A and B are shown apart, each in its own frame.
Chain A
Amino acid sequence: MKITVDEDKCCGAGQCVLLAPEVFDQRDDDGIVVLLDAAPAAGHHAAVRESAAVCPAAAIVLSEDA
């Protein structure tokens, strides 16, 4: 799994951090997503898929075959 985030789309909701705190964080100053791990271990995949699904700004894109 390979993750890319679109900082320009990100609205700073932080839903991704609630679901997968090992993979996502937010910048302190403006809340924009910080990708901690662009290719997380399999154990995180379900939470990452959930994060991408609930992101209200559609700012997380996953590529499963990478």
Chain B
Amino acid sequence: MTQVGSVLVVGASAAGLATAEALRRKGYQGALTVIGGEFHPPYDRPPLSKQVLAGEWVPERAQLRTADQLAALDAEIVLQDPARSLDTAARTVRTASGRAVRADAVVIATGLRSRAFPGQQSLEGVHTLRSLDDALALRSALQSADRTVVIGDGVLGAEIAATARGMGVDVTLVGMLTAPMVGLLGSRMAARLAQLHTDRGVHMEFGVAVEFLQEERGRVTAVGLADGRVLPARTVVVAIGSVPATDWLTDSGLTVADGVVCDAFCQAADGVYAVGDVARWHHRGLGKFVRWENRTNANEQAAAVAANILGENRPYTPVPYMWTDQFDAKIQAHGLLGEDADVQVVEGSEEDGRFVALYRRDGHMTGVLGWNMPKQARLHRAAVVDHYTAQAALHA
């Protein structure tokens, strides 16, 4: 690749900021522009459903960098001006305000949007949680809420339910699957998580779909379930997943299929890269295209993208890592756990609420779960690394 003299990062959140920082760390001295759609300087999302929602942190504490640190990056940071289109051949991005920015390398880091329940936008009392403003609005609602229903099978819904319950709110968590986070944790550990929520007073309604939101004069009053029951609610949180924020790429000519499709080097087209939640890339270790919505991936993929922009030509083959804190449980996963895996507790004990479990599928060690044993789980991580890297090494 020819010398890169200008880089444009589209998206001013964790992955975008990390890409800009990785470029500077690797010695890149050219022009650097970061554009973002939101008003706030780059902030971190995991605390939004926990410390920020609970009010344990002031919102500013979720900011990823101080003003001085951002200034030291020597980048032009443009906020509140979302990208509207990309001309891939010319590597030029146009924004809502009419700005046109051309660069030798363009990095797509626009992340996700919350998936909406049909009709929810017009209803008062219905929330999603993606942005800092969403978190503050939900916090305000929960402070005066009596009955709250959280809809969702995933980590976000479970975290919100736990935080709301900790605030003293009467919470029901509703999901279509058998238990919260069952896709991530597998059935045995998801059942354990469901039990934890029940023990702490969250009403659990799983294995049932939500059919409709009931309203009165524009405000939600209840959640209607497929089995005919109606759960009264003054506040409803919709946490039914997210979709990649790629609307602005419709005319770009890039392949968009549940994310921006990239090669093994996170490159979507000549000089165009994608990073973080929005990127679907070819993971050579796993031999397939994946898109990972975990916080660690934002930082690690940013480092890989920065390296590849600077000509290192490095395939990105990470071992995934995610964590969640719910009530007094710190749950950590190295690798992919999966629903159909064999689970074996290898350290600690389930009875004590502190253990490490290994997940094995088709003869491969694919994941390590730590339950209130973060350090011990990390020490077992080595057992799964091969599954994510060995195949890539063969094809290197």
A residues sitting closer than 8 Å to B (CB atoms) are 11-15, 17-18, 26-28, 30-31, 49-50, 53-58
Q: What are some 29 contacts across the A-B interface (CB < 8 A)?
A: A11-B330, A12-B330, A12-B332, A13-B323, A13-B374, A14-B374, A14-B375, A15-B296, A15-B321, A18-B381, A26-B374, A26-B375, A27-B375, A28-B376, A30-B330, A30-B374, A31-B332, A31-B370, A31-B378, A53-B22, A53-B303, A54-B296, A54-B299, A54-B300, A55-B299, A56-B46, A56-B299, A58-B44, A58-B64
The answer to the question of B21 belonging to the interface, with a C-beta cut-off of 8 Å to chain A, is: yes
Chain A residues within 8 Å of B330, by CB = 11-12, 30-31
Chain B residues within 8 Å of A56, by CB = 46, 295-296, 298-299, 321, 323
Q: Which B residue sits closest to A64, measured CB to CB? A: B72
Task: Establish whether residues A14 and B299, one from each chain, have CB atoms under 8 Å apart when the complex forms.
Answer: no
Instruction: Report the bound CA distance from A56 to B332 in whole Å.
Output: 12
Within 8 A of A (CB), among B307-324: 321, 323
The answer to the question of B54 belonging to the interface, with a C-beta cut-off of 8 Å to chain A, is: no
Task: Establish whether residues B378 and A26, one from each chain, have CB atoms under 8 Å apart when the complex forms.
Answer: yes
Task: Establish whether residues B323 and A53, one from each chain, have CB atoms under 8 Å apart when the complex forms.
Answer: no
A66: shortest Cβ distance to chain B, in Å?
A: 14
Chain A residues within 8 Å of B64, by CB = 58
The answer to the question of B136 belonging to the interface, with a C-beta cut-off of 8 Å to chain A, is: no
Task: Establish whether residues B374 and A12, one from each chain, have CB atoms under 8 Å apart when the complex forms.
Answer: yes
B36: shortest Cβ distance to chain A, in Å?
A: 17
Chain A residues within 8 Å of B298, by CB = 56
The answer to the question of B135 belonging to the interface, with a C-beta cut-off of 8 Å to chain A, is: no
Tell which of B44, B332, B375 touches A57, judged by Cβ atoms closer than 8 Å: B44
Instruction: Report the bound CA distance from A63 to B18 in whole Å.
Output: 17
B residues sitting closer than 8 Å to A (CB atoms) are 18, 21-22, 25, 44, 46, 64-65, 295-296, 298-300, 302-303, 321, 323, 325, 330, 332, 370, 372-378, 381
Chain A residues within 8 Å of B296, by CB = 13, 15, 54, 56
A51: shortest Cβ distance to chain B, in Å?
A: 11
Instruction: Report the bound CA distance from A13 to B300 in whole Å.
Output: 13
Known: A53-B303, A55-B299, A57-B46. A12 touches B21 (CB 8 A): no
Task: Establish whether residues B299 and A31, one from each chain, have CB atoms under 8 Å apart when the complex forms.
Answer: no
Which 3 residue pairs across A and B have the least CB separation, nearest first? A31-B374, A12-B374, A14-B378
Task: Establish whether residues B375 and A11, one from each chain, have CB atoms under 8 Å apart when the complex forms.
Answer: no
Give the residue among A15, A49, A53, A55 with the most B Cβ atoms within 10 A: A53
Tell which of A11, A17, A55 touches B323, judged by Cβ atoms closer than 8 Å: A11
A31: shortest Cβ distance to chain B, in Å?
A: 3
B217: shortest Cβ distance to chain A, in Å?
A: 43
Task: Establish whether residues A17 and B378, one from each chain, have CB atoms under 8 Å apart when the complex forms.
Answer: yes
Chain A residues within 8 Å of B373, by CB = 31
Chain A residues within 8 Å of B323, by CB = 11-13, 56
A54: shortest Cβ distance to chain B, in Å?
A: 5
Instruction: Report the bound CA distance from A12 to B370 in whole Å.
Output: 11
A20: shortest Cβ distance to chain B, in Å?
A: 14
Give the residue among A55, A56, A57 with the most B Cβ atoms within 10 A: A56
Q: Which A residue sits closest to B18, measured CB to CB? A: A53
Instruction: Report the bound CA distance from A27 to B378 in whole Å.
Output: 12
Task: Establish whether residues A13 and B321, one from each chain, have CB atoms under 8 Å apart when the complex forms.
Answer: yes
Chain B residues within 8 Å of A28, by CB = 375-376
